[in-house]
Each structure stands twice: as C-alpha cells, then as structure tokens.
Chains A and B, each alone.
Chain A
C-alpha cells in the first residue's frame, strides 16, 4: 500500500505545484480585485451629478447583474460555458486561461458581497469622525475603514479561498491535468481508486490546513488593536 502511495506522490505533487496552487492563487488574486471593485461600486454613494451620476448607476446595474448571475449558476456550468461554449462564437481560450477566468469571476461575485458586508459593518461613526477631521472619502476608506473591515472580512474570505482550492478540482473537467485529474489517471492504471482518492483528499486537506494556519496568523495580526474592552 505504502509503495503505491509513495510512487504516486511525485506526480500528484507535480500537478499540485503546476496547476492546483497556481490556479487557486491567480484566480483568488484576480477574484479579489474584482470583488473589491464591485463591492465599492455597490457600497459607495458618491455625490456626483449629471452624466457621471448616470454612469455610476449604470456601473451599479452591471455590478448587480454580475453578482446575481454568478451566484445563481453552478461553477461547473460557468466553466463549461467559458471553455466549451465560447468557441462557438469564436472565442477559444486555452484551458488554464478559461479556468482562471471562471474561478476569478465566481470568486469575485461571492467575495464582493463578503467585502461589502464587512464595509457596512464598520460603524458610520467612524466615517463621521474621519470627515470631521477633514479626510476625503478615499482617504477615509483606505486609512480608517478598510483596515477595520479587513479584520472582519478575513474569516469569510479565508473560507472562500479554501473553497476555491478545493474547487480547482473542477478544472479537471476542462482538460487541465491538475491534482485530481492526475489521481484519476493513476487510479485507472493501478486499479486502486480508494487509495488514490484518499491520497489526493489528504493532499487537499494538507493544503487547506496550511491556509487555516495562515488565516489564524493573519487574524491575530489584524486584531492586535483589540486588547481591552475600553471601559
């Protein structure tokens, strides 16, 4: 048994390093950029008039539609549309690019709502205190609100990242030889599906454990300002 596990390990780790981790990291990074942008579009109410105001309303409409559509359809279907569907209208994407686009858009939609809720949870009094000191809205967001929101958003966003790491296994369906697909291929050769799938599950669990430890570390760091009860 150990022989099978050890002999398959290099191929699985190679797939992890070559596809699973890069796919998760790149998609999460792009997903967060989208999420922050969409969250701010939905959260902020800039005092603008005329054409700019119409443009902002349009942006918000697009943001709402995007979040709705990506939260209302399965990730697997989204990946299939991007990889197998788009070529029929002339958009042919390499598997890795298609997967990054699918995962990023999906993560961005969920992440935007998580970030928006964290921004909303910071007391309005903090905005008032910043405005009375002369801070502009971008300065207030960047220096006062976001650091406080980061602490709140960390656990749910870590959840989403851990979820994404596991969801990368869906990329196997669009021909990417990531860790799960490699385990399927090895199982087809050695006829040890139970062993192979438990082994790959253990590798996913290993990756997610590292992320949980990292989450714990970041939570401690971002909560350093909470020491007493202020009474």
Chain B
C-alpha cells in the first residue's frame, strides 16, 4: 500500500504542494483531478521521485522515505521499482524499436533473459493489437498507438502501481477512446493505478477513489460516488466547469 504524509514541494518561492496526505489503495484506480496548476502532476511525479518533495513521507509497505532526512540512492531506487510512469506525451525512446522500447528496462535493469523479455513484450503487444509494429520505430506510429505502447512499456517492468500523467490529453477523441478502453481493462484486471486526468468520464467509469487538488491542497479525498454526489460547492463548481455534473 502506497501512503503519503504531509508532502510539500516548492519551486523557488512558489509552494506547489502544501502538505498532502493520502493513501493510494492497492489494486484500485485512484484518479487525481483539479484545475490546471493545482499541483496534480507535481504530486504524481513526487511518487516516482522525478520531483523530490521538500518535506513529508512516502511509505510503501516496509519502505519509507522521510524527505526531511537524507536517504540513499538504494532506497530511492527501491521506491522507483514499485512504480512506473506513463507520460502525457508518451516519451517513447525514438532511437529504439517498439519491441526494444518495451524490453530495454526488463533486460538491462531487471536482468530478465532476452528471450523471456521478448516473449512477454510480444504478449503485451498482442493484447493491445499492436504486435505487427514490434520492429517499427515510434515515429512510424500514431499518437494513440504510441501511448498504448508506452503503457505496455510501463507494464513490462511489472510495477505495483502505474502512474499516469494526463495520458490522453494530447490525443484526438478517437485515439483517446482507444487508450481509455485499454486503461479501463487494466483497472478491471486489478492493476493499481494513479492517474491525473481531466477526463471525468474515465473517472466515472473506472475510478475507485478520487483526489481533488486545488492550490496544492487535497480539497476532496473519497470514493467516486462520494465525489460525484458531494455537497462541496468547490467540487460542484469544478464539475460544472468541465460540463459533467
């Protein structure tokens, strides 16, 4: 179980996260929502240490990082092993083929046998209907296809949690649907996910828990049913603002 306590982060004088505490349940989908600039992405990146919080604690079972105290690279890497991130602009490695994009980390980081890694990658690609592109380069694929590959790449390292940073915001509606369907399937299969999104339809369909962040603070933390029926004027206003009440 991934827990955070009082996470704070400033960039220069701007305090982006003002002490967020929550639990991200296992085998569930947590959706982080909120207005632009509220600190959602910073929070998500903190979980993978792409952003190092200034203060607070991240706990994962027996593993604990207190950002007020020094911690070793080994501890940081151990935390990173538990998570894998999917980015808004997918960030595939353009110099590697699709197959290599998926197998690179299992082979060179996790030291998985190359034949096994290739087999697992082909299975993942077949599952998303893209195995025919195994030897293609990312630049030959559409944005939606690349995003599905990047999800496969994140799954290939078998993380306990997948972190998704607005994975569909750079896609057109048709491609967005393909990616969301894939994510809903993963959610149904019990993959633990934490996703920053503006897509309330996905939140309605797949979320188990919703965290609403505004001005660096968690203004709402509860189930999706509680979220969509909340009496909080600010949440209502937010939902109204994105035309889905």
A residues with a Cβ closer than 8 A to B are 47, 123, 125-126, 128-135, 139, 143-144, 147-148, 151, 224-231
Contact = CB atoms under 8 A, between A and B. Distances in A.
A143 B108 contact: yes
B31 to A, nearest CB: 19
Contacts of B91: 123, 125-126, 128-129
17 contacts: A125-B89, A129-B91, A132-B48, A132-B80, A133-B84, A133-B105, A133-B153, A134-B110, A135-B105, A139-B108, A143-B108, A147-B95, A148-B93, A151-B95, A225-B97, A230-B146, A231-B142
Nearest to B141: A230
Interface of B: 48-50, 73, 77, 80-81, 83-85, 87, 89, 91-97, 104-105, 108-110, 136-143, 146, 153-154, 157, 163
B95 A225 contact: yes
Contact of B50 (A131, A139, A225): A131
Contacts of B48: 131-132
Contacts of A126: 91, 93
B137 A131 contact: no
A26 B136 CA distance: 38
B87 A128 contact: yes
Nearest to A139: B108
Kindly list the 4 A-B residue pairs having the minimum CB-CB distance in the complex, ordered from nearest.
A133-B105, A129-B91, A132-B85, A134-B109
Contact of A133 (B89, B95, B104, B137): B104
Contacts of A231: 142-143
Given A133-B84, A134-B109, 5 more contacts: A125-B91, A128-B85, A132-B48, A133-B105, A147-B95
A227 B139 contact: yes
Contact of A229 (B83, B84, B139, B153): B139
Given A128-B87, A135-B109, A139-B108, A230 B143 contact: yes
A129 B95 contact: no
Given A125-B91, A143-B104, A132 B83 contact: yes
Contacts of A128: 50, 85, 87, 91
A131 B92 CA distance: 13
B93 A132 contact: no
A67 to B, nearest CB: 28
A229 to B, nearest CB: 7
A146 to B, nearest CB: 9
A132 B50 contact: yes
A133 B87 contact: no
Contacts of A151: 95
Contacts of A147: 95
A123 B49 CA distance: 18
Interface-centre pick from A134, A139, A224 (highest chain B CB count, 10 A): A134
Contacts of A148: 93-95
A125 to B, nearest CB: 5
A125 B88 CA distance: 10
Contacts of B73: 47
Contacts of A227: 136-137, 139-140
A143 B109 CA distance: 11
B152 to A, nearest CB: 12
A132 B163 CA distance: 10
B105 A134 contact: yes
A227 B95 CA distance: 11
B120 to A, nearest CB: 14
B137 A225 contact: yes
A213 B99 CA distance: 32
Contact of A139 (B83, B87, B109, B143): B109
B140 A133 contact: no
Nearest to A147: B95
A134 B77 contact: yes
A124 to B, nearest CB: 10
Interface-centre pick from A133, A135, A151, A230 (highest chain B CB count, 10 A): A133
B139 A226 contact: yes
A121 to B, nearest CB: 13
Contacts of B140: 227-228, 230
A129 to B, nearest CB: 4
A230 B143 CA distance: 6
B153 A230 contact: no
Nearest to B84: A132
Interface-centre pick from B50, B94, B143, B153 (highest chain A CB count, 10 A): B94
